[in-house]
Chains A and B, each alone.
Chain A
Amino acid sequence: MSVATADPNTRTFDPTVYHVKKSAEGVALDIKDFNLWYGHAQALHGINMEIQKGEVTALIGPSGCGKSTLLRCLNRMNDLIDELSIDGSIMVDDFDIYGPGVDVIALRKRMGMVFQKPNPFAMSIYDNVVYPLRVDGITRKSILDETCERALRSAALWDEVKDRLKESALGMSGGQQQRLCIARGIASDPEVLLMDEPCSALDPIATAKIEDLIADLKGHYTIVIVTHNMQQAARVSDNTGFMYLGRLIEYGHTDTIFTNPKKKQTLDYVTGRFG
């Protein structure tokens, strides 16, 4: 793995358009020249991206363009996949998360993640929510109870499940399960929240609640959200990155991306004229 040194402006191929000002301050995750291969198929091509602290960053793009792959790289979820190779670096606080000697578990504890498909565990609702605390070794019941309620309230689920916290989480509806996973993702108060299409299984009301939640969390947490919903991206995010075929085509302030993109592909995509 080589630490990226190339200045994006000097590279000849794939000139990504950046609107976000590069700054040493306030960068939560600094992705530098990141490439990724599944076996021999390259899924990410030279991604350069700075994710700002305390802001909401949306990733948009057509299906299969590598949004989930990129997101999963941020907390090294892709480690589980055999035959995966990467190149480049992702910096968090001056250390490369793909560098040698990185404590992956400690890294993941700093990041909550909500997956594309709900994946509650085969345990009670309560145990699901406090799972991140339990694996951290927290056993004080008062702390767990309090966390459980706070996380479930944030995920707009508390009122629905407060009477059945001891029941199995697998008996909930798909949308409830997804909100449960969101609650789990924020239960341990992570610095970064990675959300992969968190609202794809939710009805408009729940979606609105999740968007409210994101708005509330903004400022405290750094949020990266993958979404197919343009309006949602426009509503909740500060910055937006548009990806296409494994490349980051354009990355900038959400207003700019949606109203005044520099690239035709981006314009076509955000206006729905994508062909």
Chain B
Amino acid sequence: MDENANLSQAERALERQREVPASGGAGAAGVSARETPPKTGRRVRTYTADISAVGEPALWAFGGALALGIILIAGFLAMIAWNGFTTFWPKPIAQVELRDGTTIAGEPTRGGTYRPGESVLAQLNDQQRAEIEAELGFAERTLYKTANFDIYGDDFRWVSDFEVAEITYPADMHLFQRQQWGDFVGRVAGLVIAGEEVPFDYDLMQREQSEARRRFNEIRNIERNEIGALNHYIERERLNIRRAELRHGAESERGAELIAQSRERIAEYQAQFADLQARVNEIRANDRNYRVTLEEVNGETRETELSQIVRFYPANDLTTLDKTGIYFSRWWEFVSTEPREANTQGGVLPAIFGTVAMTLLMVIFVAPFGVITALYLREYAKQGRITSIVRISVNNLAGVPSIVYGVFGLGFFAYAMGGTIDQLFYPEALPNPTFGKGGILWASLTLALLTVPVVIVASEEALAAVPRSMREGSLACGASKWQTIRYVVLPKAMPGIMTGMILAMARGAGEVAPLMLVGVVKLAPALPIDGFYPFIHLDRSFMHLGFHIFDVGFQSRNSEAGKPMVFVTTLLLLALIVTMNATAITVRNRLKRKYAGSQF
């Protein structure tokens, strides 16, 4: 062993000698001493040593792994950002004349190569077939968003390049975003303003359309808020009647009195209801005097109220400034309005609201629960076998699949706890469940349960990192154990605890699977916070961006139409999570800075 080592050293020295014959004094001592006179001192670093001994290959591997990770993440973010940010940019509308004489119009969305089947090839002429054969049987095609779902029964159409005779971009082609039926691609065939036909004028139509939208919003406002409030009150009185029956009995004097009161009030509300309805009808009748006739590229027409048009623009006749305006107005619509058309159009405001509310609620639940548990485990419990078992179990909880928590949340929180609450406090609403179904309260509790191991582990570590000398200092001042924890240990551990909370928040905000069982819905009729007493309705189901992505992209009638929305929503969800985390991190860093400083 020793001899071998010596030998190889000598060999290496020789080799070095051979490689750098002119290096003179730089050569090593020993065997080569005959040719180069030995210098004083020995060279310590040699670069001909086995390179694995130097550790350089490992360095490359580590660096490479890191680089790969960064590239993957950056690529993923870039893809989402690119797709997300470009979705709302107005695209031109191509009018395509096909060789078979038909015409289509639409936004080219994406292209691709494919191999046409035998039956397709058979219908082509020789020249086309030769072209395809030159490409080894492959042909190019483009997917056009033709819109006009109500006419074509589909929103998209593939067009192969060999089918195309001519592509033009006529300036009078418009894109209309409609309240219902999705987009319409075509021209304006007729305009009725105040009941009279007028010739089409873009600016006039723009003005009248904004006016019509104002009417539309007014109607919706009345229906939503005022009539909605009336419905709410009537429902409340109905429940009051039911409660009176349950408590006092319908025959008893008190019961009869209460029921009569409620009936009276219901009658009052119904009168108001009729008034509002009349007002709505009036506006609606007026609204019907403003109509527009849309004509698709082949001349088929659809007439609709102007108020049904959310937005329209001449897609091929826009300056960059116009496009920018449209771009931002669509973003604004996206983040500030409710979804339309089975979530594939419109905005995601309720989903943003639901996500934020649920996450905050979860933090409110998980923070005290996790911190108290960690405090007990670390500060009070006797450190022994049982505490280690508890600790290991807590750690393992973090590995339970999240859907399991969903099942637990539904079974325990919603059905068992919620069912009991309903029986005790909301018997009048039964058999309709109030808390005995999925809702934002149960969802955030389920997520709190899911994320509590993270908080416990991080808090425990933070508590353990508080030096013993600090605790001793406090106790020596005559502080009790609780005072020591409250004033010395917790403040010092706070940044670490916050880190745990941030991790929990990030995990909770991105979780979807369990939520589907405990309260997330495709379309929530009302937000969990509104103007009706008691203002915060923890029993309500809610919308969530994560579920929205799943629903829009994969559950809607036309998943191709939803695809761009998937990216936009993903982008928004990421931005939301980053914002929430950044806020928490800022708070933590402020805390940290407050107590910053070195020990010496």
Report if A77-B597 is in contact (Cβ < 8 Å); known contacts: A115-B469, A119-B470.
Answer: no
CB distance B474 to A131 under 8 Å?
yes
Q: How far is the CA of A119 from the CA of B594 in the complex (A)?
A: 17
Report if A122-B477 is in contact (Cβ < 8 Å); known contacts: A117-B469, A135-B483.
Answer: no
A8 part of interface (Cβ distance < 8 Å): no
**How near does chain A come to B498, taking the closest CB pair, in angstroms?**
14
Residues of A within 8 A of B598 (CB): 170-171
CB distance B595 to A135 under 8 Å?
no
Fill in one digit per residue for A121-143: 1 if any B CB lies within 8 Å of its CB, else 0: 11100000001101110000000
CB distance B477 to A131 under 8 Å?
yes
Q: Which residue on B lies nearest to A173, using beta carbons?
A: B600
Looking at A19-27, A59-67, A104-112, A253-261, the stretch in contact with chain B turns out to be: A104-112
Looking at B60-68, B487-495, B571-579, the stretch in contact with chain A turns out to be: B487-495
Chain A residues 59-88 with CB under 8 Å of chain B are: 75, 77, 80, 82
B134 part of interface (Cβ distance < 8 Å): no
Residues of A within 8 A of B471 (CB): 80
Known: A106-B478, A131-B474. 19 other contacts (CB 8 A): A75-B476, A82-B383, A105-B480, A111-B476, A112-B477, A115-B473, A115-B476, A122-B470, A123-B488, A123-B491, A131-B477, A132-B477, A134-B487, A135-B483, A168-B597, A169-B597, A171-B597, A184-B477, A185-B476
Q: Which residue on A lies nearest to B600, using beta carbons?
A: A174
CB distance B476 to A108 under 8 Å?
yes
With beta carbons under 8 angstroms apart, the residue of A117, A135, A170 that contacts B478 is: A135
B467 part of interface (Cβ distance < 8 Å): yes
Residues of B within 8 A of A108 (CB): 475-478
Report if A135-B492 is in contact (Cβ < 8 Å); known contacts: A122-B595, A170-B599.
Answer: no
Report if A135-B480 is in contact (Cβ < 8 Å); known contacts: A121-B492, A170-B597.
Answer: yes
Q: Which residue on A lies nearest to B467, using beta carbons?
A: A119
**How near does chain B come to A226, taking the closest CB pair, in angstroms?**
14
Q: How far is the CA of A106 from the CA of B479 in the complex (A)?
A: 9
Residues of A within 8 A of B473 (CB): 113, 115, 119-121, 181, 184
**How near does chain A come to B380, taking the closest CB pair, in angstroms?**
13
Chain A residues 158-216 with CB under 8 Å of chain B are: 168-174, 177, 181, 184-185, 188
B59 part of interface (Cβ distance < 8 Å): no
Q: How far is the CA of A136 from the CA of B600 in the complex (A)?
A: 30
B150 part of interface (Cβ distance < 8 Å): no
Report if A112-B476 is in contact (Cβ < 8 Å); known contacts: A119-B470, A121-B487.
Answer: yes
**How near does chain A come to B481, taking the closest CB pair, in angstroms?**
9
B596 part of interface (Cβ distance < 8 Å): yes
Fill in one digit per residue for B562-600: 1 if any A CB lies within 8 Å of its CB, else 0: 000000000000000000000000000000001111111
Residues of B within 8 A of A111 (CB): 476
Q: Which residue on A lies nearest to B473, using beta carbons?
A: A119
Residues of B within 8 A of A185 (CB): 476
Give the B-binding residues of A (Cβ under 8 A): 75, 77, 80, 82, 105-106, 108-109, 111-113, 115, 117, 119-123, 131-132, 134-136, 168-174, 177, 181, 184-185, 188
Complex A-B: 25 CB contacts under 8 Å: A77-B476, A105-B479, A106-B478, A108-B476, A112-B476, A113-B476, A115-B476, A119-B473, A121-B474, A122-B470, A122-B491, A122-B492, A132-B479, A134-B487, A135-B474, A135-B478, A135-B479, A168-B597, A169-B597, A170-B595, A170-B599, A171-B597, A172-B597, A174-B599, A181-B473
B468 part of interface (Cβ distance < 8 Å): yes
With beta carbons under 8 angstroms apart, the residue of B477, B488, B491 that contacts A188 is: B477
**How near does chain A come to B477, taking the closest CB pair, in angstroms?**
4
CB distance B476 to A168 under 8 Å?
no
CB distance B595 to A168 under 8 Å?
yes
Q: How far is the CA of A128 from the CA of B476 in the complex (A)?
A: 13
Residues of B within 8 A of A120 (CB): 473
**How near does chain B come to A161, taking the closest CB pair, in angstroms?**
13
Q: How far is the CA of A120 from the CA of B487 in the complex (A)?
A: 12
Q: Which of B383, B477, B600 has the most CB of A within 10 A?
A: B477
**How near does chain B come to A224, taking the closest CB pair, in angstroms?**
13
Q: How far is the CA of A144 from the CA of B527 in the complex (A)?
A: 50
Q: How far is the CA of A170 from the CA of B595 in the complex (A)?
A: 7
Report if A135-B476 is in contact (Cβ < 8 Å); known contacts: A119-B470, A170-B597.
Answer: no
Give the A-binding residues of B (Cβ under 8 A): 383, 467-480, 483, 487-488, 491-492, 594-600
Residues of A within 8 A of B483 (CB): 135
Q: How far is the CA of A106 from the CA of B454 in the complex (A)?
A: 39
With beta carbons under 8 angstroms apart, the residue of B467, B487, B600 that contacts A131 is: B487
Residues of A within 8 A of B479 (CB): 105, 131-132, 135
Residues of B within 8 A of A168 (CB): 594-597
Residues of A within 8 A of B468 (CB): 80
With beta carbons under 8 angstroms apart, the residue of B478, B595, B597, B599 that contacts A136 is: B478
**How near does chain A come to B487, taking the closest CB pair, in angstroms?**
7
Report if A132-B478 is in contact (Cβ < 8 Å); known contacts: A121-B492, A122-B488, A174-B599.
Answer: yes
Q: How far is the CA of A119 from the CA of B477 in the complex (A)?
A: 12
Q: Which of A80, A113, A134, A135 has the most CB of B within 10 A?
A: A135
Residues of A within 8 A of B478 (CB): 105-106, 108-109, 132, 135-136, 188
Residues of B within 8 A of A122 (CB): 470, 488, 491-492, 595
CB distance A115 to B472 under 8 Å?
yes
Residues of A within 8 A of B383 (CB): 82
Q: How far is the CA of A37 from the CA of B467 in the complex (A)?
A: 23
**How near does chain A come to B521, taking the closest CB pair, in angstroms?**
46
Residues of B within 8 A of A136 (CB): 478
**How near does chain B come to A182, taking the closest CB pair, in angstroms?**
12
Q: How far is the CA of A105 from the CA of B482 in the complex (A)?
A: 12
Q: How far is the CA of A108 from the CA of B476 in the complex (A)?
A: 6
**How near does chain B come to A239, taking the closest CB pair, in angstroms?**
23
Residues of A within 8 A of B474 (CB): 121, 131, 135
**How near does chain B come to A116, taking the closest CB pair, in angstroms?**
9
Q: How far is the CA of A136 from the CA of B479 in the complex (A)?
A: 8
**How near does chain B come to A234, taking the closest CB pair, in angstroms?**
27
Q: How far is the CA of A32 from the CA of B468 in the complex (A)?
A: 29
Q: How far is the CA of A134 from the CA of B467 in the complex (A)?
A: 21
CB distance A135 to B477 under 8 Å?
yes
Q: How far is the CA of A188 from the CA of B479 in the complex (A)?
A: 12
Q: How far is the CA of A84 from the CA of B478 in the complex (A)?
A: 21
Residues of A within 8 A of B487 (CB): 121, 123, 131, 134-135
Q: How far is the CA of A105 from the CA of B594 in the complex (A)?
A: 30
Q: Which of A77, A170, A177 has the most CB of B within 10 A?
A: A170
Residues of A within 8 A of B600 (CB): 173-174
**How near does chain A come to B46, taking the closest CB pair, in angstroms?**
44
Q: Which residue on A lies nearest to B468, using beta carbons?
A: A80
Q: How far is the CA of A185 from the CA of B473 in the complex (A)?
A: 9
Q: How far is the CA of A75 from the CA of B473 in the complex (A)?
A: 12
Q: How far is the CA of A109 from the CA of B487 in the complex (A)?
A: 17
**How near does chain B come to A184, taking the closest CB pair, in angstroms?**
7
**How near does chain B come to A172, taking the closest CB pair, in angstroms?**
7
Residues of B within 8 A of A123 (CB): 487-488, 491, 595
